[in-house]
A = this chain, B = another copy of it.
Amino acid sequence: MENERTEIDSIGEFGLIERIKNNFANSLQEYTVKGIGDDAAAFQPNKEDEIIVSSSDMLLEGIHFDLTYVPLKHLGYKAVVVNISDIAAMNGKAKQIMVNIGLSNRFSVEAVDEIYKGIQLACKYYNVDLVGGDTTSSPSGLVLSVSILGSVAKDKITYRDTAKPGDVICVSGDLGAAYLGLQVLKREKEVFMVNKDMLPQLDEKSYLVERQLKPEARVDIIEELDKAAVVPTSMIDISDGLASELLHICKMSDVGANIFEDKLPMDRMALETATDDLNISPLVCMLNGGEDYELLFTIAQDDFPKIENNLKIIPIGYIQDKSLGVKLISRANQSIDIQAQGWKHF
């Protein structure tokens, strides 16, 4: 496999599409009426009270990923997962994706196969169909733009602008690890650039690296909330960091919030790597790190007992009146304004 290199030129666009299509042939999920190969994909919800939800994300080489440490298969997987996470954040189930791909002549057919292997793995794991998209050449790097369709019952859809004072703020898992994973990968890249014989020492950082390279969408949380008969009052996925996402919910819901530093969940290895190894504030990693793809949601106080014993769901604070601001209560019991940093790519 590693020795093969087929120029995309030699099979052409239609050859490339054929190749992709053949690998995804027998995967029609519920709702999919028409997949790859027509002007548009077709999607039919069975029930009138079902809402179709759709989202789209674009990943550009040199901005969102560096192929010196991101394997192509992981990239394909992640491109799908970040979109599934968006649908989960609507309390919905992802059903179909479309993938637009732009490829420079640096990429061989085998490289494209690797990307689509990752896409396929994600499609299988999350039960979604690849139903179309666009393949094109690119003047420089790799471009991946994924669109997704999903559905959710009308009375269960969750938005960002519906949090209410008194609601409990929850997250679905530990924060900051994906960001730390990226720092570890960047460091190893630098070491490798200096000494090409040096093999990367990533074993003990495997959790962090995996959080960065192979994030998962928290569809399990959506299912568990459903089983517990809880519909969050608002929900968003954490792609840009907790601070940025919480500010989105507060701004759009016209409310304030208090979250507590000592409630914020961080993995032990992440904590050690931040403090002992990279000398970064663990709090900054959790608030501004991004790419964790955990869910941030608010739950009405009456509903809270229904999920209180679910160890995956971590309460970190509560929504309050707008006039009280969006604050972090530190371990020293100081109230600190939360600032958005987000992921600055302009």
Contact = CB atoms under 8 A, between A and B. Distances in A.
B56 A145 contact: yes
Contact of A92 (B40, B58, B62, B340): B40
B340 A40 contact: no
B40 A44 contact: no
Interface residues of A, number: 78
A16 B342 CA distance: 14
A105 to B, nearest CB: 8
Interface in A213-237: 235-237
A142 to B, nearest CB: 11
A265 B346 CA distance: 47
A202 interface: no
A164 B61 CA distance: 45
A139 B58 CA distance: 13
A276 interface: no
Copies in the complex: 2
A46 B154 CA distance: 12
B41 A136 contact: no
A63 interface: yes
A136 B58 contact: yes
Given A87-B40, A90-B40, A345-B13, A100 B136 contact: no
A134 interface: yes
A40 B54 contact: yes
Contacts of A62: 139
Max chain B CB contacts within 10 Å: which of A85, A87, A139? A139
Interface stretch (A30-38, A70-78, A281-289): A30-38
Closest 7 CB pairs of A and B: A40-B55, A62-B139, A39-B89, A145-B145, A147-B147, A58-B100, A39-B86
22 contacts: A12-B344, A13-B346, A37-B252, A38-B89, A38-B161, A39-B85, A39-B87, A40-B53, A40-B89, A40-B90, A42-B51, A42-B157, A43-B53, A43-B54, A47-B48, A55-B98, A56-B132, A56-B134, A56-B145, A62-B139, A63-B137, A143-B145
Given A45-B52, A63-B139, 10 more contacts: A9-B346, A12-B344, A13-B345, A38-B160, A39-B160, A44-B51, A45-B45, A54-B54, A58-B101, A60-B102
